[in-house]
Every structure is written in structure tokens, then in C-alpha cells.
Chain A
């Protein structure tokens, strides 16, 4: 190939990517590098001086009981992912073919996902109201005399958040499962049926293995999505009662913008990055080993 032509191509390439690259540099790369530096300082907003403190922030994090609590809450939060996926798989299989009103039903299940945000947080806050809320009203109605206090108790608050998150993610998971189900060749399912497989057997032995790459992908991306989220929790409980709903991502926000411990917050945020990194590597490995397209 011509050298001058290659040069021209390179110039054109940078011309196309340039505008976007400037933004990515300014709003992603430079902040990321700067945050990495902050991790090793005791930077506090509006403090007179900033010192380089080496690994102090990381040491502090590992000895911080609240960090442990936040980590545990994060894992409880992550439980919502597989549960939501399981429900979504059932709904997707049911909606894939054998029902009427398919489109309407899909839209209804997907609805929570697009209305993300504080609005639904407040609706659920009232639904979970412990003494007179509709959910506990229902539970009393079916004979549970002492229903949980949900968001107002430390034992239940994280599970209440889980329920909201399962509800929120279900439509998203369902849509992805539906896309995967539609890729399955009709003949395979038909062959199983002719061989005399009952519907349940077909689902377990034909459909479920065939969508396993999707299951894996949803699991990993769902975990990543969940671990980053704190808006819904910030809006409903602000991490309380006590610290019972303080997840890692919210803990970072609180340290940075409530206590202005920005160096410390940077250190925790890189811990969060490390967890996401593990999931991403798993996904990458998984794509090579388990995903059979």
C-alpha cells in the first residue's frame, strides 16, 4: 500500500475519532488517572494542605468496620441478580410463543426498567410502609400476624431493596432472554417434542443449555450493573436504618460528598473497580470457554 495514502488514512481516522477522543480524555481518562493519584493522598475538600500518605487509605479501608458492613450489604444486594434472572427466564419462555397479547405483556414487564429513578423508589417506600402499607396489609390479610418491618428494620431493609431491584431488573433480563430464545432453531425444539419430551424436559434439557451463554452474560453484566448502582438506595434509605443498606457504591458517595474524605473515597472506589475487573475478566474467559455460538 502507498505510504502517503496510509498517512492520509491515519489523518482522516484521527479526524473522525478526534472530537470524541477529546471528551473521553477529559471526562474519563484524566479523571481516572487523577483519582488513582488521590487514592494515595489525604485530600479533603477545602482542607489547607494535602499530603502524600502512601497506602494509608488502603490500610484504613481494610481496618474499617463500615467497609466490611458495606461489602456484606453489597453481596446481599447482588443476590437480586440471579433471582431476577430466574424469574425472567420463566417469563421469557412463557412469552416466547405460547401466549396471546405477547407484545402488550412484554411491554408491561419491561415498564419498570425504563422508569428507573427516584420516582419508583418513593412508590416502594410507601408500599413497604410497615404499619399500614399495602404490602403488610396484604400479608396480614393472608394470616401473617407479624409481617416484617421492611425498610424500617435493619434485618429486613436490604432484602426490601432486593425485592425492588428484582422487580426493576426483571424486564431487562426478560428481553435479553427473549432475544436468545428467538435464536434457537425451531427444529431442535420440534425434534425434542417428536422424541416425546415433555415441555418441562424440553426446557431443562434443550432450551436451558442453549441459552447458557446468555445466562452467563446476564449474570456478569447484571452483577456489574448492580454493584455500581446506588441511586435507588440513596433515594429511599440513604444507607439506613443504621448502616443496614449502605452498599459499597453508596459508601463511596457518602465519604466523598458527605464527609469530604476524598482521598479515602478514591481508595474505596478503586476497590470497587477491582471487583468489577474480576467480573469482567470472568466474562472474557467465559466467552472463550462456555459460550458456544
Chain B
């Protein structure tokens, strides 16, 4: 590789101090230009969000005026009020989403940690085969599982209840995979010392490994929570009653019922997005780390 570069590049004279100073200010300028370019492109990326928020405050007549009115001529709160009041409101959807996401996430983190410890730290018969089965399940698209799950939930009577989302939500193969990866990276000397002191696996798991894994657990919790909060497909298949709707379904419902009220639509979309933006701002570090780590290692 380096040879290629040497062949392509013209030989340059060693830099004199003067040239060096000039180059530094040159790279400074380059840095500023690049920053401006990248900021412009970033602005383009978030423009749909800005347009959404600004439209939610506009009057109906101003939605499609061109050039775009980024700052509404008057702040109209009525669209937001409409979203949050009435028969089926976003308050209900928020509560439902919060309930489902929280219970699922807590369950998933705990159950994944337990299983991941077993896979990473205990030698037992059939471990490799079992793990392989787990991994192969990651290949199965959700569409394969929808119909059988639908029939199963009908049969046990949890179809069209929140349990149809919470129970399967507590099991995440990705979570087991990710935490196993983390537990494998904890040096075995730590648990060996505890073994010699007479501690068993349960004690080591609760007293040593879990506290050490706090960042990994937080990462999984945030990623899992956002996944549940945004999950539209499962809710679409397993819920019918409006009072059970989660935020994505509620949003769809609102838009079906108000399909010409563009301001209301954007107020509803804003309501649907805000919680995740807050979670993102708080847990940015974990989300980015978790996403990057899982892909690079996985």
C-alpha cells in the first residue's frame, strides 16, 4: 500500500519553518471550511425535524407557503392542545408506551445478564450448541414469527393486551449476545480469587460481575428502551383496542382521523419524537458506544 503512495506522490522538499507556519494556518482554514460544510449538511439532515416543529405552530394557511416560513408568523398552540386532549389522547399512548417499554426493558436486561453470564462464565454440557441455536435465531425475520405468535397469543388469551408486547419483549437475543461479549472481557482472575474465598457463581454474578457491568447494562437498557418505544410493527399486529395503543400506533390513528389537518399531524409527530430525543440527549454516550461496539465486535 505504502509503495503505491510513494509511486503516485511527487517528491517534496523537507519543510522549512516558514512553510510549516503557512501550512498550519492553511490547515486551520481547511478545518473551518470543512466545519462549515459539515454543519450545512448536518442542518440538511435535521431540517425535517425543524420543519415539523415549525409547522406544528403555524396557521393552516402557512403550512405550504414558499419560500418556507421557518419561524411561524404567530405561535399557534391549538394543534398541540388538540393532540393532548380529546378521547384518545397522547397522554394515554405515552402511559401505555412507558409501561410496555419499561417492564420489557427491565426484564430484558436482567434475563439477558443472567443468560449471558451462563454462556460466558460457566462450563457446561451443550453450551456451544445452545449458543449456536441462539445466534441462528437472529437470522429469523420477525415476519416468520408473526403468524404463529398471533395464533399463540389468541389461544392463551393475551392477544390484544399489553402482555403480547411485554412478554416477548423481555427476551432479546441481541442482549444476551452483547452482554456475553462484555462478560468475556472481564478477566477471569477476578472470579478465581472469589472462588478461592468460597463464593459461588450466584454470589460472583451479583456481587462482582453485575456491578462491573453497569455501563454495559445501561447501554443495553437504553438501546432496548428506544427499540420498544419506537416499535410499530409488533403493536400493529398484536393490538386492536384504541385505549391500548402505544405512541407509534396512536400517531397513526391520529393521522388517519385528521388527515387534512397538517398542523395537527406535525404536532402529533412532535409528540411522538420528543421522548426519544430526550433519551438520546441524556444517554447519547451509551447509545453511540453501544451501537458502535455491537457492530464492530459482532
Contact = CB atoms under 8 A, between A and B. Distances in A.
Interface of A: 6, 9-17, 19-21, 23-24, 27-32, 34-35, 38, 91, 94-95, 98-101, 105-112, 114-120, 122-124, 126-127, 129, 132-134, 137-138, 141, 167, 170-172, 175-176, 178-180, 183, 191-192, 195-198, 201-202, 205-206, 209, 214, 217-218, 221, 227-228, 230-231, 234-235, 249, 252-253, 256-257, 262, 265-266, 268-270, 272-273, 276-277, 280
A243 to B, nearest CB: 17
A197 B45 contact: no
Given A141-B66, A228-B141, A276-B139, A195 B30 contact: no
A47 B277 CA distance: 45
B130 interface: yes
Contacts of B152: 30-31, 34
Interface stretch (B74-82, B164-172, B184-192, B210-218): B164-172
Chain B, interface size category, equals: 35 or more
A123 B269 contact: yes
Contact of B149 (A31, A180, A227): A31
7 contacts: A12-B122, A20-B114, A94-B37, A175-B292, A268-B143, A269-B146, A276-B139
A123 B266 contact: yes
B124 A269 contact: no
Contact of A118 (B6, B68, B170, B248): B248
Contact of A123 (B51, B145, B168): B51
Nearest to A199: B30
Given A16-B117, A272-B143, A209 B1 contact: yes
A23 B46 contact: no
A30 B148 contact: yes
Interface in B125-145: 125, 127, 130, 133-134, 137, 139-145
Interface of B: 1-2, 4-6, 8-12, 27, 30-32, 34-35, 37-39, 41-43, 45-46, 48-49, 51-52, 55, 63-64, 66-68, 111-112, 114-115, 117-119, 122-125, 127, 130, 133-134, 137, 139-152, 167-168, 170-171, 173, 176, 200-201, 205, 226, 230, 232-233, 236-237, 247-248, 251-252, 255, 262, 265-266, 268-270, 272-273, 276-277, 279-281, 284, 287-288, 291-293, 295-296
A22 B47 CA distance: 45
Contact of B111 (A20, A35, A115, A124): A20
Given A123-B51, A134-B51, A17 B139 contact: no
Contact of B288 (A30, A32, A110, A234): A110
B41 A91 contact: yes
A223 B21 CA distance: 47
